[in-house]
Chain A
Amino acid sequence: MLEQQDKLLDVENLWVKFPTRNGVFDAVRGISFSLGKERLGIVGESGSGKSMTGRAILRLIRKPGIVTADRIMLHDKDLMTMSEREMRKVRGQRISMVMQDPKFSLNPVMPVGEQIMEAYAQHAKASKAEVKRKALDMLEAVSIRDPERVFRAYPHEMSGGMGQRIMIAMMLIPNPEILIADEPTSALDVSVQTQVLSIMDRLVQERGMGLIFISHDLNLVSSFCDRVLIMYAGRIVETCRADKLHEAQHPYTRGLLNSLPRLTEPRERLDVLKRDPAWREAQSVSGAS
């Protein structure tokens, strides 16, 4: 159990609903979890509500979507009761988010450097020269070899891995306490993936940042994170230590693990996941650490 002051984020009974022609669709159904200075993985298949959870924390769900929660506490402040104006101070500065595909998250008609400077200038009062120096430092911190050149380049001149590192640089420049990474590496090749992960890993360890790592890749999450929440149909079905993921108990988690082909254990046939309607109805497990 974490002490109250070690908890960076505490979410209680979070719902995300979308009204449709056929009634209200619940994307996230009453989940509770907390985050300390750790790497928390959220895994699940498409449609399990994992990305929606990440977005709901930052209150980025657009209308007509509805977010309700008993509380989303960032230290002692409840994000749910904040005004839009106060929220803008939180986004980026205290909690920031890295999206899946750098191609769609960077402005295509603005040089990379200016975008990073803009991100920083939003939150800090500093002279232009200082902002620029800070932006270059940040590019270096995410292992970009030639920061001066990248600074002047446009996003289309960058490779996928480079773009993702630029996104991370941009998100980290205000020194946030929490980083939400939504499938940050699924568009990247394995070797670039390792680089991006080690950058995030270092930041968690050096700065004491909290990381929410959303992914569909069970192997990756179990080797990268400290703790994992497994989501199914908008609920948390199981939570466990990441290195113990392969001993998970819930039939859904087991089913997912068994449906993965494994290099080390060849099999004739892969197990096919049989979905039990009872999983959908079962109460959410608490993800408090």
Chain B
Amino acid sequence: MSGLEISHLDVWFGSGHDRVDAVKDVSFRVDSGASFGLVGESGSGKSTILRALTGLVPNWSGEMIVAGEKLARKRTAQFYKKVQMVFQDPYASLHPRHTVDQVLSETLYLHGFDAIDRRIVKLLDDVGLGPSFRFRYPHQLSGGQRQRVAIARALAPEPEILLLDEPTSALDVSVQAEILNLLVDLRTARKLTYVMVSHDLAVVGHMCERIAVMQLGEIVEIMSVEDMRAMKTSHPYTKHLLESSLGYKRVATAE
């Protein structure tokens, strides 16, 4: 069983004069059960890669093999059973007029599961919410609880691969810690493969074993988390990013 392999992926928007190349010749490989991080600044194309994987961008070329399946223009239902995504903003990714129960049962129904009732209770339990949250609307939940619901929804089709697009950037640090712990636990319990996008190097360093640094649509460096901690970088941009993330340095005023 292989995880996910992307080779020579290009993604662009618009055409002719207005063409923007958001992702340029990106290749990487994530083994099954591994956790892979994509970091970079806004506009570096890291989220676009996840969107290309899930079929949310119209124009791409290259080759993507996910869980043994070579991706075509249109994703199959089978694909969505294997790959699920958690979005950045839990305030925007849940339907405001659907209860937690509706959100989860719809997903389960669409993926053709039986015993939906029992599964919902189990899912809520797995993400640490408990059955009392089942009939609540999103506005009755805090940001962290909403993100838990979004994770439960992603887990509903029992995927092998979870794509995490800045799952904690809209949350307070104490809530962020809870969600990151939950994600670590789920990965161990369900043997999931993670591809995580974040601009926060500390979060990616905590979650992932291998990290790709992106700049202007290209991967400038792929390194292990140990190298990142030891500041063993081969590209100046990575070094710059690491230094800025360690906090403000007074010397910066000297220029």
Which A residues lie at the B interface, using CB under 8 A?
45-46, 160, 189-191, 193-194, 197-198, 201-202, 205, 216, 218-220, 222-224, 255-256, 259-264, 266-273
A259:B201 contact, CB within 8 angstroms = no
Q: Which 10 A-B pairs have the closest CB atoms?
A: A223-B247, A259-B177, A261-B206, A273-B174, A270-B177, A189-B41, A190-B244, A224-B248, A45-B172, A223-B248
A45:B253 contact, CB within 8 angstroms = no
| Residues of A close to B178: CB separation below 8 A | 272
A114 shortest CB reach to chain B, Å: 28
In chain B between 177 and 195, which residues have their CB closer than 8 angstroms to a CB of chain A?
177-178, 180-181, 184
B213 shortest CB reach to chain A, Å: 12
**If A218-B173, A255-B174, A270-B181 touch, does A191 touch B252 (CB 8 Å cutoff)?**
no
| Residues of A close to B252: CB separation below 8 A | 194, 197-198, 201
- Determine whether B20 belongs to the interface, using a CB cutoff of 8 Å to chain A: no
| Residues of B close to A273: CB separation below 8 A | 174, 177
B246:A198 contact, CB within 8 angstroms = no
Which of B173, B174, B248 contacts A197, CB < 8 Å?
Answer: B248
Residue in chain A with minimal CB distance to B237: A191
- Determine whether B228 belongs to the interface, using a CB cutoff of 8 Å to chain A: yes
**Chain B interfacial residues counted at CB < 8 A:** 33
- Determine whether B235 belongs to the interface, using a CB cutoff of 8 Å to chain A: no
B173:A190 contact, CB within 8 angstroms = no
| Residues of A close to B73: CB separation below 8 A | none
The docked-state distance in angstroms from the alpha carbon of A218 to that of B249 is 14
- Determine whether B121 belongs to the interface, using a CB cutoff of 8 Å to chain A: no
B246:A259 contact, CB within 8 angstroms = no
The docked-state distance in angstroms from the alpha carbon of A260 to that of B203 is 8
The docked-state distance in angstroms from the alpha carbon of A181 to that of B174 is 23
B8 shortest CB reach to chain A, Å: 27
| Residues of A close to B172: CB separation below 8 A | 45-46, 216
Having A261-B203, A262-B206, A271-B177, one finds 8 other A-B pairs with CB under 8 Å, namely A160-B42, A190-B199, A190-B244, A190-B245, A216-B172, A256-B173, A256-B174, A259-B173
Which of A189, A202, A219, A271 contacts B247, CB < 8 Å?
Answer: A219
B202:A262 contact, CB within 8 angstroms = yes
A245 shortest CB reach to chain B, Å: 11
In chain B between 224 and 248, which residues have their CB closer than 8 angstroms to a CB of chain A?
225, 228-229, 240-242, 244-248
The docked-state distance in angstroms from the alpha carbon of A271 to that of B177 is 7
- Determine whether B27 belongs to the interface, using a CB cutoff of 8 Å to chain A: no
Which of B174, B199, B249, B255 contacts A259, CB < 8 Å?
Answer: B174
A261:B247 contact, CB within 8 angstroms = no
Contact with A along B195-229 (1 / 0, CB 8 A): 00001011101100000000000000000010011
A272:B177 contact, CB within 8 angstroms = yes
| Among B199, B242, B248, residue most surrounded by chain A Cβ atoms (within 10 Å) | B248
B239 shortest CB reach to chain A, Å: 12
| Among A189, A201, A261, residue most surrounded by chain B Cβ atoms (within 10 Å) | A261
- Determine whether B176 belongs to the interface, using a CB cutoff of 8 Å to chain A: yes
- Determine whether B19 belongs to the interface, using a CB cutoff of 8 Å to chain A: no
B253:A205 contact, CB within 8 angstroms = yes
**If A45-B174, A197-B252, A259-B177 touch, does A269 touch B202 (CB 8 Å cutoff)?**
no
- Determine whether B250 belongs to the interface, using a CB cutoff of 8 Å to chain A: yes
| Residues of A close to B228: CB separation below 8 A | 263
B173:A220 contact, CB within 8 angstroms = no
| Residues of B close to A260: CB separation below 8 A | 173, 177, 202
The docked-state distance in angstroms from the alpha carbon of A260 to that of B255 is 31
A261:B205 contact, CB within 8 angstroms = yes
| Residues of A close to B206: CB separation below 8 A | 261-262, 266-267, 270
B244:A191 contact, CB within 8 angstroms = yes
A216:B229 contact, CB within 8 angstroms = no
**If A220-B247, A259-B173, A259-B174 touch, does A272 touch B181 (CB 8 Å cutoff)?**
yes
Residue in chain A with minimal CB distance to B201: A263
The docked-state distance in angstroms from the alpha carbon of A259 to that of B42 is 25
Residue in chain A with minimal CB distance to B143: A46
The docked-state distance in angstroms from the alpha carbon of A218 to that of B201 is 15
The docked-state distance in angstroms from the alpha carbon of A189 to that of B42 is 7
A261:B248 contact, CB within 8 angstroms = no
| Residues of A close to B180: CB separation below 8 A | 261, 270
The docked-state distance in angstroms from the alpha carbon of A263 to that of B208 is 12
| Residues of A close to B173: CB separation below 8 A | 45, 216, 218, 256, 259-260
A171 shortest CB reach to chain B, Å: 19
Contact with A along B142-180 (1 / 0, CB 8 A): 000000000000000000000000000000111011101
| Residues of A close to B242: CB separation below 8 A | 263
B241:A261 contact, CB within 8 angstroms = no
